[in-house]
Amino acid sequence: MYHAGKVFCGGRLRPTVALSASVLLSFHSRRETADQKAKNPVSPGRNFFGKEADDDGFLKAPMSDQRSTKPAGVLRIASAAVPSEVARVEVLAEGPEGRRARTDWVVVEEPLEIRAGGLGQKPESVAVTMRTPGHDFELAVGFLRTEGLIGVGDEVVAPVERASQTDLLGDRACNIVHVVLSRPFDGSALKRNFFATSSCGLCGKAALDQVAVRCEAVAPGPVVGRSILIGLPESLRGAQKAFDRTGGLHAAGLFDAEGRLIAVREDVGRHNAVDKLVGRAFLDGELPLSGRILLVSGRTSFEILQKAAVAGVPIVAAVSAPSSLAVSVADRLGITLIGFLRGPSFNVYTHPERIDPLV
């Protein structure tokens, strides 16, 4: 349950949430001005709200929108909001006809520091992760949950305050999310701070047992028809709004047993996208996710399976291959693991009893 609050962010008061399950969160994020949004074209050839961009980065108008009083096929973006997940850059495009300058969109990758503490307790730095801005609250809470640092019964407190600092480059804000629990926070389980990179998650850990979270086997969960599974990638792809502009974001989608998309999160790192989904479920009081299907873009790693197991997800699917350790974890914890979910076919690596091939 959410309760309205306010936070001073970006020079104005914005509504925030106070959560009945208690975590005090703080963050800082940047937004482009309305004038900047009006000037920003999209990448050539990219689909944006059903329209295709031309070679100059402007949207092609449908025939019904074209008039003889203006250049045919050209329509500037004037009202489409540009989210903080993407940034505009100037590039040199090389092709058979030579080189030319144009504007393109790239995925934003920025550091986020996650801090945690109890009420009246000095916040403790838990992790720094490279992520795509957006749903930072969910990311922080999801990370703490999937790393075993908070439990389902823990309470999270609000309102929210902003905090930021300059990163090593000196020109970007290092966003900080402060998660405050109603109980004292014990960070002794962390033998050292994490530094998570976008490509591989929690890299540089001394040993595997430092990332392994004690998980119970998941509940039996639903039996899902083959016809439902093969339709999931298309549903996920259709919900990837930032990917349409950049082609550079991973996605994680949560589906029910009938194949309906419950939530989707995008990020430069797959593990962050999953943490955002888990954080959302935690804050909404929906854990464990015993009746859900998790679909991730790309491959499935040990870390993805660990996070799914903590959240209680019985079926994990991916459009690419799993790792050997992911297969081992899925088998041990009773998770149905699916790979190469493309078109009409897929591989089932573990626990096929949840898949009905005749439906």
Task: Name the residues annotated as catalytic.
Answer: 200
Q: Which residues pair with 47 in a beta bridge?
A: 52
280, 299 in Cβ contact below 8 A? no
Indicate if the alpha-carbon torsion angle 28, 30, 33, 34 is positive or negative: negative
Full 3-state SS string of the chain: CEEEEEEEECCEEEEEEEECCCEECCCCCCCCCHHHHHHCCCCCCCEECCEEECCCCCECCCHHHCCCCCCCCCECCCCCCCCCCEEEEEEEEEECCEEEEEEEEEECCEEEEEEEEECCCCCEEEEEEEECCCCHHHHHHHHHHHCCCCCCCCCECCCCCCCEEECCCCCCEEEEEEEEECCCCCCCCCCCCEEEECCCEECCCCCHHHCCCCCCCCCCCCCEEHHHHCCHHHHHHHCCHHHHHHCCCEEEEEEECCCCEEEEEEECCHHHHHHHHHHHHHHCCCCCCCCEEEEECCCECHHHHHHHHHHCCCEEEECCCECHHHHHHHHHHCCEEEEEEECCEEEEEECHHHEECCC
